[in-house]
Amino acid sequence: MPRGKEIASEHFRLVTSKSGTIGIQLIGRIDRYCSGSLIRRLKSEIKKLGPRKVMFDLNRITYFDDFGALILFELRSFLTGFKIEFDLVQPPPRVSEILTLTNFESPKLCAPLIKKKQPNLISRLGEGAITTVLNIRYQIAFLGSVILCLLEVMLNPRKLRLDDTVQLMKKTGVDAVPIIAMISFLLGLIMAFVSSLQLKQFGASIYVASLVALSMVSELGPIMTAIVVAGRSGSAFAAEIGAMRISDEIDALFTMGISPTLFLAIPRIVASILVIPLLTLFSDLFAIMGGLTISVWLLDLTISTYIAQTIKSLTLFEFMWGLMKSFVFAALVSWIGCLRGFQVQGGAAGVGNAATSAVVSGIFFIILFDSIFAVIRSYW
Amino acid sequence: MLQADTLIDIKNLQARYGDTVVLKDINFEVMHGEILAIIGGSGCGKTTLLRHMVGLVEPSKGSIVIDGDEITSGDEATFQRALQKIGILFQAGALFGSMTLAENVALPILQYTDLSPEAVSTLVRMKLCSVDLEGYEDHLPSEISGGMIKRASLARALALNPQILFLDEPTAGLDPVTSAEIEALILQINHSLRTTLVIITHSLSIIFKVAHRVIMLDKTVKGIIAQGDPKQLKTKSSDPVVRQFFNRQTKASENLPWQR
């Protein structure tokens, strides 16, 4: 073969001949560190030279793996694209073993890739509708199973897992007291401050006490508490039950003949229903203390007038109304948390989605039911 | 056949969880190109030893050197260099559930090479093809069977053709045919790429058909009670515990009335 131009580097030697044939010899360790740059370099050299035929010689290779096979494969499809002939000098046994293992000789390298068919708009719409319907059915079924289990527990209280329930009451309730107290105190502070700016102009500063007490007890107290609990415990319920779901623990319970609802959901729902109204009372109390602080500090009211006005403006009905609401919110938040946990599918990402969804739909349901209560009350 | 130079060197290793010492005075070497099986009854610290060997847990005492890099020295650069040389197949596969098989295998390749995305996808197909998973590129790990998960995660462990491959129970929970396929795959990897393999296993079939050498750990000794060629250990070991393991006997060696 008459020799023309020669290009050499650490990993290859390229020789051109007059007849338009290029000989490329790969040298040394052909591994993952050099494969990317070799492919680019050789492609650009071949493009520049524009040969009729390229011969590859692999006899000076000291190490060869599937990254090397990839180089040959990429260059072969590159050359075929330009209608240039590809030829391989009989490789040493070590290299040909790898080439056989990677199916280098078959033109497609591997079985053709099975592309997942993208369904059309109508079938996707149908699928979406079916999923939604099944979802709603599951939710109704879960609601039913929760109600049945609650009835069962009422008839036979020994079926309630008392230890778990007490533990969950501590987690959901006691551990949430500091954050609830903090938020409510600041909320009372803000409400008193903002309203005082207006009421002071009319000389009606005393009504700050009524405003704080009424709005907290009947509206904001239950809502704030429920939202905080949805964020703290609703998401925790969903993540905990979801993780159990993906590690087959729920299936284990089911096959032992233990109802997963009774075992997992009921203690959480019962604990929430018991502690959230109590947390709401704390929230009301701390907000009133916040209002008191501002009134005494900035509005020159005395502690006793503030408290007297608060007591005067609150009725038992307001209290019961607020507590009833927080009772409903508690059931909703814990129910949604458990539901999202039981609905988890797939892996770790599914658990994350469930926790997010538990908080988002929890808050949505709180606001929705609060609006419903507002409507009911206005037609009372 | 085997090149007689050391690739992994473990000296005076002690492992403990809290106050409980799990392993003590562990000394052994892994040679270039060898298939070493680490065996022993349940709870004897096999997986603990593996977690120490790949640097997931720091030993309370002793040193581990992988191909000249001491991973127990606390030097981050040395540790990263050693990590480049190893691949691990975890017991449960540890495939990322939110990624398809192709994305799982492509992750280390994209991270550590400068190949173009098209070349990476070709390479990923080659890798999946080599473990007989062609056509499953777009499947999620939750959509395939246990044996396929093992093979896919083997493909991921092999993505960068590491010098050393650690396999934690590669055939546990698989049917005999799939197990035999995985054993063949292990031998092929060892032959074609000269990969050194450290296998944790209970399977006598791997021990006798695949391993060049075994190391046996024991719970009461908290260390190595036997090492060497499995066929020799089976017949010639003086330790009854070792013979029991290889011959699958129960502790009371005489046959019980309900056993046939």
Predicted ipTM? 0.78
Q: Domain of A35?
A: 6-101
- Residue A352 included in any domain: yes
Mean pLDDT, range B73-77, rounded to an integer: 82
- Residue B105 included in any domain: no
B111 touches chain A (CB under 8 A): no
| Statement to judge: residues A182 and A293 lie in one domain | yes
| Statement to judge: residues A195 and A134 lie in one domain | yes
* Contact between chains at B115 and A70 (C-beta distance less than 8 A): yes
| Statement to judge: residues A210 and A313 lie in one domain | yes
Instruction: Specify the pLDDT at position B75.
Output: 82
- How many beta carbons lie within 10 A of that of residue A202, not counting itself? 8
Mean pLDDT, range B160-183, rounded to an integer: 87
Query: What is the enclosing helix (H) or strand (E) of A233?
Result: none
**A98 chain-B contacts, CB cut-off 8 A:** 192-193
Instruction: Specify the pLDDT at position A116.
Output: 61
Out of B119, B130, B137, whose CB is closest to A102?
A: B130
β-partners of residue B15 are B23
Question: Tens of pLDDT along A2-35?
Answer: 456 777 777 888 888 877 888 888 888 888 888 8
Using an 8 Å Cβ cutoff, are A362 and A330 in contact? no
Chain A / chain B CB contacts < 8 angstroms = 86
CATH number at residue B226: 3.40.50.300
Closest A-chain CA to B138: A116
- Residue A43 included in any domain: yes
| Statement to judge: residues A231 and A298 lie in one domain | yes
- Residue A206 included in any domain: yes
| Statement to judge: residues A129 and A91 lie in one domain | no
Question: Tens of pLDDT along B53-67?
Answer: 888 888 888 888 888
* Contact between chains at B112 and A111 (C-beta distance less than 8 A): no
Residue A29 three-state SS: strand
Of B34, B84, B113, B193, the closest CA to residue A66 belongs to B193
- How many beta carbons lie within 10 A of that of residue A375, not counting itself? 9
- Residue A374 included in any domain: yes
Out of A33, A70, A346, whose CB is closest to B123?
A: A70
How many domains does chain B contain in total?
Answer: 1
CATH number at residue A34: 3.30.750.24
- Residue A32 included in any domain: yes
**A33 chain-B contacts, CB cut-off 8 A:** 113
**A32 chain-B contacts, CB cut-off 8 A:** 109, 112-113, 160-161
Mean pLDDT, range B56-82, rounded to an integer: 85
Mean pLDDT, range B198-210, rounded to an integer: 87
Gap from B237 CA to chain A (nearest CA, Å) = 38
- Residue B50 included in any domain: yes
User: What is the 3-state secondary structure of chain B?
Assistant: CCCCCEEEEEEEEEEEECCEEEEEEEEEEEECCCEEEEECCCCCCHHHHHHHHCCCCCCCEEEEEECCEEHHHCCHHHHHHHHCCEEEECCCCCCCCCCCHHHHHHHHHHHHCCCCHHHHHHHHHHHHHHCCCCCCCCCCHHHCCHHHHHHHHHHHHCCCCCCEEEEECCCCCCCHHHHHHHHHHHHHHHHHHCCEEEEECCCHHHHHHCCCEEEEEECCCCEEEEEECHHHHHHHCCCHHHHHHHHCCCCCCCCCCCCC
Gap from A169 CA to chain B (nearest CA, Å) = 31
B149 touches chain A (CB under 8 A): no
Instruction: Specify the pLDDT at position B250.
Output: 64
List Cβ neighbours of A51 (8 Å cut-off, separation of 6 or more).
A16, A20, A21, A22, A84
Instruction: Specify the pLDDT at position A1.
Output: 39
- Residue B110 included in any domain: no
Residue A83 three-state SS: coil
User: What span, in angstroms and rounded, lies between the C-alpha atoms of A376 and A365?
Assistant: 16
Using an 8 Å Cβ cutoff, are A89 and A58 in contact? yes
- Residue A314 included in any domain: yes
Q: How confident is the model at residue B3 (pLDDT cuts 50, 70, 90)?
A: very low
* Contact between chains at A36 and B188 (C-beta distance less than 8 A): no
* Contact between chains at B135 and A111 (C-beta distance less than 8 A): yes
Closest A-chain CA to B120: A70
Tell me the C-alpha to C-alpha distance, in Å, between residue B214 and each of B62, B176, B207, B209, B210: 21, 22, 7, 12, 10
- Side-chain-side CA neighbours of A301 within 13 Å: the count stands at 25
**B97 chain-A contacts, CB cut-off 8 A:** 346-350
| Statement to judge: residues A167 and A315 lie in one domain | yes
* Contact between chains at B125 and A113 (C-beta distance less than 8 A): yes
Gap from B69 CA to chain A (nearest CA, Å) = 19
Out of A66, A98, A101, whose CB is closest to B123?
A: A66
Gap from A164 CA to chain B (nearest CA, Å) = 28
**B130 chain-A contacts, CB cut-off 8 A:** 66, 101-102
**B98 chain-A contacts, CB cut-off 8 A:** 346-349
- Residue A110 included in any domain: no
At CB < 8 Å, which residues of chain A contact B? 31-33, 35-37, 39-40, 65-67, 69-70, 73-74, 97-98, 101-103, 109-111, 113-116, 345-350
* Contact between chains at B142 and A349 (C-beta distance less than 8 A): no
Q: Which residues of A281-310 are buried (b: 16+ CB within 10 A; e: fewer)?
A: bbbbbbbbebbbbbbeeebebeeeebeebb
Residue with tokens 């591997």: A110
Out of B114, B192, B193, whose CB is closest to A36?
A: B114
Q: Domain of B73?
A: 1-85+165-173+196-247
| Statement to judge: residues A73 and A206 lie in one domain | no
- Side-chain-side CA neighbours of B79 within 13 Å: the count stands at 14
| Statement to judge: residues A29 and A173 lie in one domain | no
| Statement to judge: residues A74 and A221 lie in one domain | no
- Residue B184 included in any domain: no
Instruction: Specify the pLDDT at position A114.
Output: 54
- Residue A161 included in any domain: yes
| Statement to judge: residues A257 and A177 lie in one domain | yes
Side by side, the strands of the sheet bearing B61-66 are B20-31, B6-17, B61-66, B69-70
Q: Is A269 exposed, middle or buried (0-12, 13-18, 19+ CB in 10 A)?
A: buried
**A11 chain-B contacts, CB cut-off 8 A:** none
| Statement to judge: residues A151 and A19 lie in one domain | no
How many domains does chain A contain in total?
Answer: 2
Chain centroid offset of residue A104 CA: 43
Which residues of chain A register pLDDT less than 70?
1-4, 106-117
User: What span, in angstroms and rounded, lies between the C-alpha atoms of A55 and A38?
Assistant: 16
| Statement to judge: residues A71 and A163 lie in one domain | no
- Residue B37 included in any domain: yes
Gap from A336 CA to chain B (nearest CA, Å) = 24
- Residue B4 included in any domain: yes
